[in-house]
Structures are given as C-alpha cells and as structure tokens.
Amino acid sequence: MITTERPLAHLLDSTEESGPVHFGPNWFAAVMGTGIVPTAAVLLPYHVPGLHAVAVVVWALAAGLLAVLVVATGVHWLRSPHQARRYGRDGTMAQFYGAPPMAFMTVGAGAIIVASSVIGLRAAVDLDWVLWTIGTVTGLLSATVIPYRLFTSIEVRPDGAFGGWLMPIVPPMVSASTGALLLAHIGSASMRATFFYALFAMFGMSLVVALAIITLIWSRLAHYGSSMSGRVPTLWIVLGPVGQSITAAGLLGANAALAVPAPIAHAFSLFAILYGVPMWGFAILWATLALAITVRTARAHLPFSLTWWSFTFPVGVTVTGTIRLAAETGLSAFRVASAVGLVALVGAWATVAVRTARAAHREALLAHPTAPAAVAVKASALTGSSAA
C-alpha cells in the first residue's frame, strides 16, 4: 500500500523557518497510476472471478490517496508558500502541474466504471461531475499557463526536451475521454451536442501539441541521446497522450449517437478505428524503444524517484485504448494484447507502489525532488567509440 502519513505529518511539523519541505505536484502521479489500474481491470474483455472486487478496493485506495494529497498540498502552501511557488518556475517540476487535474479525472471516471456498483450510479455520476469539472478547469489552466512559462521565462537546454513536457497538455485529452462517460447523463439534446463537440475540441487541443512535443523528444534522442538518469522513465509518458487519444476516440465514437445525427455518429465510429489502429502501432513501437532505453539505463543505474510512476498511467491508458480497439474491431488479437498489457500494468504498479511506500516512510521523497538538469549523452560520448 501507498502511505503518506509520515510525509503529511512532516509537512504539519515544518515551517519556512525550520527548513524547506519539498512536496510538488508530481506526487499526484501516484493517484493517476493507481486509479488507472482498477479502470483497466474492470474494462478487460475477459471475466476474471473476484477481479471487480479487487478493483473497487484499489479505486478506493486511489480516492483516499487523492484526498490525502489535496490536504497535504494545501498544508504545504500554507506552511511553505515560498517553496511551493518555486515549483512553477522550475523547468522540471512545473511540467507536473498537469498531474493533479488528471488525478481528479482518473478517480472520477473510476467512480462510474468501477465503484458505481458499490456507491450507486447516481452518487458515482455526481462525484464524477465534480471531479471531472475540477480536473478539466485546472487541466485547461495547466495546458496554457505552463507552456506560456516555458516559452517566456523557463530556461531550456538544447537537450532539454523530455517526456514531462507532455504532462501539462495531456489533461484536455483526459477530459475528452472521461467526459464521454457523462454524455448519457445530460438531459438536453442541445447540451449533449455542445458538450460532445467541446470534448472533441479538447481532443484536438491536446493531440496537436502532443505530436509536436513527441517530435522534439525524438529529435533530442537522435541528436543528444538519453540522459541515463532518473529522467529516463519519463520517456514512457509519450504513451500517455497516444494511449489516451485512442481511448478518447473510441469512447467518443461509442457515445456519439447520444449527441449528434446518425451519419456523423457513424463517422466518429469509423474514426475510432481509422485513427486508433495506426496510433496503437506507434504506441507499440514507442513502448519497445522506451523499454530498451529503460533496461539499458537500469543496467547502469536507475535511481528510484516519483518519475517511476511514468511506468503506470501511460501504460494503463494504452491498455484501455487496446480494450476499445478490441470492442470496435472484434479482433481477439486486441483482447489478448489488452490482457497482456494489464498484467504488465499490475506488475509495474505493484513495484512502484512498494518502492514509493518505502521511500515515503523514510521521508526521502520530501527532500529535494528537483535534481540538477539532466544532461543527455550518447554511448559514443562515454566510450569514445561509435554508438550501436
């Protein structure tokens, strides 16, 4: 289990005068990574006895962790406001202000998909509306404010592009996919249509920027190489907008008939396949490359940090995207792939959760989460020979 009891107590006992306490928005990645596990498990196109009950427990864990982190963040801003404000000016930590919005929406979507059988559909929908609204508003802020700061005030090295740049611009894509679950609970036909097209607009808002950033990351890797540092796990964040966009396209296509005329709804259903399958192919390619670089780094040294949560949520939304493709195409290959992906997701989550719990107990994660800028380097620069 993940615990923040000791870090929260440390926050309550600390002041600016007693020394800085570091509690950044990157903590909310733990909620994202935990919340996506039960959602993917319940949506899995296979019946596994007891899986739903376990999923409810994990969703409750994610919801409880979200509540704890919201309180801890509020305490941190009250007790150490100067330290908290520094995160928005830090080139690495500022990017993770996209994590809290996605954490809210992940738990909200799980309320309907996972917990509605326990808390009731009405309560689940109401809870999702609240969390989706909070996540969407703060996500739109992160998608504009953080890039603006990146463009105008944050210093960036030539090799500075990394997966974290995707974090502040992915929330609108999460809004698009999770918002599709709420279409059936809007009474007015005109409001459903307006809401639907707003979701599709947020889909495009996030997708176009994500493709630009992924290009920059590819360019950085080609020109400068990998940092061989704790920044390496953020390569997996690329799967976030890719997998989430496949999920969003699938959910918008599946629910389009609730909001738009039949011919347009049919076009959205086709788009879910015509877009989803090629993007899924890219997701597999990127996952293979990210795995190879991660293994290469781990053989040298890959220190634990909260960036390890990049191994969870991005993989999770790729699994949910695969599940959508299985439903849309009817192919058993996608069903099998989704099951394999879920096994990998659960293994990654268990590993990272245990490591986080241990580090949190030692309060190691409250000390200097912002490391010196990672420097990318290729093997040839280290060995003096040509890189393979």
What confidence tens digit (pLDDT) does each residue in 110-123 have? 999 999 999 999 99
CA dihedral (166, 45, 47, 240) in degrees, to 10, reads: 0
DSSP code, position 374: P
Per-residue CA distances from 189 to 40, 172, 199 (Å) = 30, 23, 15
Alpha-carbon distance of 30 to 283, in angstroms, equals: 22
User: Of 225, 233, 243, 218, which Cα lies nearest the Cα of 294?
Assistant: 233
Q: What pLDDT does residue 268 have? A: 97
What pTM value is reported for the model? 0.91
Quote the pLDDT of residue 84.
Answer: 85
pLDDT of residue 133: 98
User: Could you tell me the domains of the chain?
Assistant: 5-364 (1.50.10.150)
* H/E run at residue 91: none
Distance, CA of 386 to CA of 388 (rounded, Å): 6
What end-to-end distance do the CA atoms of the chain give, in Å? 41
Q: What is the distance of C-alpha 368 from the center of its chain?
A: 23
Distance CA 205, CA 203 (A): 6
Q: Could you give the CA distance from residue 195 to residue 186 in angstroms, rounded to a whole number?
A: 9
Contact at 8 Å (CB) between 269 and 260?
no
Q: What is the DSSP string of 116-183?
A: HHHH-HHHHHHHHHHHHHHHHHHHHHHHHHHHHHHHHT----TT---GGGGGGGSHHHHHHHHHGGGG
Q: How far apart are the C-alpha atoms of 105 and 194, rounded to whole Å?
A: 20
Q: Residue 230: what pLDDT?
A: 79
Burial of 264 (0-12, 13-18, 19+ CB in 10 A): middle
Write out residues in the chain with pLDDT < 70, as ranges: 1-21, 363-374, 379-388
pLDDT tens for 300-340 read 889 898 999 999 999 999 999 999 999 999 999 999 999 99
Q: Given the structure tokens 């326990």, which residue do they identify? A: 118
Count of CB atoms within 10 A of residue 71's CB? Answer: 14
Longest Cα–Cα distance of the chain, Å, equals: 67
Query: 231 with 162: CB under 8 angstroms?
Result: yes
Q: Are 220 and 161 in contact (CB under 8 A)?
A: yes
